[in-house]
Chains A and B, each alone.
Chain A
Amino acid sequence: MNSIVAEHITKIYPGTIALDDVSISFESGKIHAFVGKNGSGKSTLMKIFAGAEQRSEGIIRLNGNEVNFKSPKEEFEVGIATVFQELSLVPSISVAENIFIGRLPVKANKLIDWDKVYADAKEVLNNLGLDIDPKTIVRDLPISQQQMVEIAKAMSFHPQVLQLDEPTSALSQSEAETLFALLQELKKQDVVIIFVSHRLDELWKIADDCVILRDGKLIGVLPMPESPRESVLQMMFGNLTVEKRPEDLSHTDETVLKVDHLTRPGKFQDISFEVKKGEVLGIAGMMGSGRTELLRAIFGADKFKSGTVEVKGQKVNNPTPNKMRNLGVSMLQEDRKTVGIIARDDIVMNTTMSIIDRLGNGIFYSQSKAEEATNKQVKALGIKLADIHNKMNSLSGGNQQKVIVGRWLNADPDIIFFDEPSRGIDVQSKQQIFKIIWDLSRQGITSVVVSSELEELLELCTRIIVMQQGKFTREITGKELEEMTIDQLYMICMEGIE
């Protein structure tokens, strides 16, 4: 029997403790599930087992022996295989090459022994009961099959421990069932199986026990499937109190944005809603529910197939970000680093790039007006910086986020879309961004917020719409919203996903 044990594992990142004195043991013949909300430390613990992150303190024992590896390669040799959430396969080469990448068998003359490559790959796949041709190019396989290949690759190392990080997040229900059948099979093969999931329903189908982490601490281990749902949620969220939003937030009856039967096949279907002037509307939903895609389509960042968007009573044909900006709509992007900022340019450029055409007379650009607009936002938003001519990448994440908020405030919007406004910023900056959103509401500027942190939406928004698999399933408002707890909202977002 194989086992892996963590003894007093602590992981400290600058400014945060990701894992705080966690001790736990796992053994083969069982499927162990890790659960916890974002930032609970479940992925960090998995990475430490995998050797992808170094622990700050503590000991890891594999079958009683202490292990210490500096790189994921050693980890494979030691016998721990990990399948991360992002697939690590090379899409342009065959299944067999992917399985044996970096260790393709060679003949005596040092050329690759292709017959052996395919035969060995076939054997690995067969052992898992997978009917995949090893010569298939990975790109041509559906995502679910790619996931299986990834597991086959991990299993080809004959590991004692197999870790899976959210393996079902990209899979449909029936594909997930196939994966579960495979895991049940592996369970019999004396492998320790550790599995992270955010789809709670799965735990009752597949897990033998459920390890709950919260804020880097081990909260407890519950046997499955007999433990009730309420106990798991209670342990995940603890007595998390949602901060109260200010009492004075209100909105008028004027509709500023109306979305009618908006559809983008495969992403979202038949979405209709209205937002009033000054409202703070939240869109809640799990990953893959289509919330970000919906906002992007309304803003014109992506195309949609059918439906209409009306801004302040005016129908927008084929929205583009340029048209939407001119109509007073702004959008803070989720992926700040790649599509939010110009890292190499200065803060002035980053704060004013939305309004270059409004700075100066006629065709001429006025740098002093740009600096004026920058200083105005630096002051209004409390952006901490040494000099507005410094490069954007000299700022912290929170301050960069505020610069982008400032960029959009400069465009003088009536509606701002916030896609994951607190992603990658510290708690204090987060509260400041919330305060900005409330202040905007008081000035009659509407916000629509998407966040994967449900407690944020509860705190921030005056109305919440729940999205599941591309559809609106529920609207929470008024008294119901006031009384909603975080685990209730979590259940609403999770329930009935098939």
Chain B
Amino acid sequence: MKNEKLSLFLRKYILYIIMIVIGAATTCVNARFLSINNFVNILRSVSIQGVLACGVTMILVSGNIDLSFGSMIGLTGVIIGYGGKFFQTLGMSPTPACIISILIAFAVATVIGLINGYFVSKWKMPAMMVTVATQFLMTGLGGIISGGYPTNEFPSWFTFFGKDRIGIIPYSVLIVLVFFAVFYVILNKTKFGRTIYAVGGNAEASRLSGIDTKKYIFSVYVIMQWCAVVAGIIMSSQLMQGSHSYGGSVTFNVIAAVIIGGCGMSGGTGNMKGTITGLILLGIIQNSLTIINASEYTQYVVRAFLIIFSIWLTTVQELRANATDK
């Protein structure tokens, strides 16, 4: 019984414990870790992933998966850069040209989300393969539009999303905090979010309980792509450059963070609190390893262990629950 309680405690707080241990260890090596500047840094470093993680959490809760959003990031930069250039050749001034291009990026994202949702919900095709296909589609489109060359045709105020700060806080950090708050409210306090949990828990039971499940699957795929557009805007603003090749590598980092945060792959479980914890934990690890001058590849190894460990935790929980069932 005592063991049971201990393991329950560990499962609940393990991520926080790891965070504190890593933080304490890094502080011993370099006290700079504990500075406010460093915390802002950590948040800034996870802002792009954070925006994406909101959409990924919703997708996973709904019992689906999306591997295509990474290439929407690059496509967004290309659309805004080359779109802005194109509209300027039509005689528009840079600012309206940029804003129209951003709207076009959202429109394209909507279409891609609908395509994903259509094949997954209407034809019951495996979401993983459908979204791998649309991922290639978007990378290809970005490359065709740009001819493979990066663009830096952004108006000067475009630094706002990725570079500019209010005091010491970058606007990108504010954007991600707003995303966290909005998605927390959607998933926990709205009928839409509650329905996503039902659909993810058992899609067929939900359908037979009168829920129009297709509508919700379409919605989560579109929302996912919208998140990717926002992430794309932040990334091209940080770099003041857009290329079809940006963003592809972020996909699995984000999915890893969400899963480390306790979101199951089979739907109906997970929440924003876990996702935020997972993200910040990964941010801290990355930051600590940088401070102690460890290589980027060390981070990969650490991430590998964390993913296996957190999936193991949830699986053990489920196995135990099933065992007490029978």
Contact = CB atoms under 8 A, between A and B. Distances in A.
A165 B201 CA distance: 35
A349 B321 contact: no
A339 B198 contact: no
Contacts of A238: none
A227 interface: no
Interface string B179-211: 000000000011111110110011011111111
Contact of B193 (A339, A359, A365): A365
Given A356-B198, A357-B195, A365-B193, A322 B204 contact: no
A360 interface: yes
B209 A354 contact: yes
Interface in B197-239: 197-198, 201-202, 204-212
A106 to B, nearest CB: 36
Contact of B191 (A333, A338, A365): A365
B32 to A, nearest CB: 43
Contact of A322 (B193, B197, B212): B212
Nearest to B195: A356
A321 B208 contact: yes
A353 interface: yes
B269 interface: yes
Contacts of A322: 207, 210-212
A333 B190 CA distance: 28
A340 B268 CA distance: 15
B210 A411 contact: yes
Contacts of A393: 321, 325
Contact of A363 (B192, B198, B202): B192
A417 to B, nearest CB: 11
Interface stretch (A135-143, A252-260, A324-332, A478-486): A324-332
A342 B191 contact: no
Contact of A342 (B207, B212, B268): B268
A342 B211 contact: no
B191 A356 contact: yes
Given A320-B212, A339-B208, A344 B193 contact: no
Contact of A349 (B197, B208, B325): B197
Contacts of B212: 320, 322
A365 B210 contact: no
Contacts of A391: 321
A407 interface: yes
A365 to B, nearest CB: 5
Nearest to B200: A342
Given A322-B210, A407-B209, A341 B191 contact: no
Given A349-B201, A356-B198, A344 B268 contact: yes
A364 interface: yes
A468 B46 CA distance: 64
Contact of A345 (B195, B197, B318): B197
A325 B210 contact: yes
Contacts, number: 82
A321 to B, nearest CB: 5
Interface residues of B, number: 25
Contacts of A363: 190-192
A300 to B, nearest CB: 9
B210 A324 contact: yes
A301 interface: yes
A301 B190 contact: no
A364 B190 contact: yes
Contacts of B318: 344
Nearest to B325: A393
B189 A365 contact: yes
A473 B182 CA distance: 58
Nearest to B192: A363
A324 B207 CA distance: 11
B193 A301 contact: no
Interface string B254-285: 00000000000000110000000000000000
Contacts of B206: 342, 353
Interface string A289-321: 000000000010100000000000000000011
B2 to A, nearest CB: 23
Nearest to A299: B208
A321 B207 contact: yes
A411 B210 CA distance: 9
Contacts of B204: 338-339
Contacts of B193: 365
A345 B208 contact: no
A344 B190 contact: no
A359 B209 CA distance: 15
B148 to A, nearest CB: 43
Contacts of B190: 363-365
A356 B211 contact: yes
Contacts of A411: 210
Contacts of B194: 356, 359, 365
B263 to A, nearest CB: 13
Contact of B201 (A325, A333, A342): A342
Contacts of A407: 209
A360 B185 CA distance: 14
6 contacts: A321-B208, A342-B205, A353-B205, A356-B211, A357-B195, A365-B190
Given A354-B210, A360-B191, 13 more contacts: A321-B208, A322-B207, A322-B212, A325-B209, A325-B210, A341-B205, A342-B206, A344-B201, A344-B318, A345-B198, A353-B198, A356-B194, A391-B321
Interface of B: 189-195, 197-198, 201-202, 204-212, 268-269, 318, 321, 325
Report the 6 A-B pairs with minimum CB-CB distance, sorted nearest first. A325-B210, A342-B201, A322-B212, A354-B209, A339-B204, A365-B191
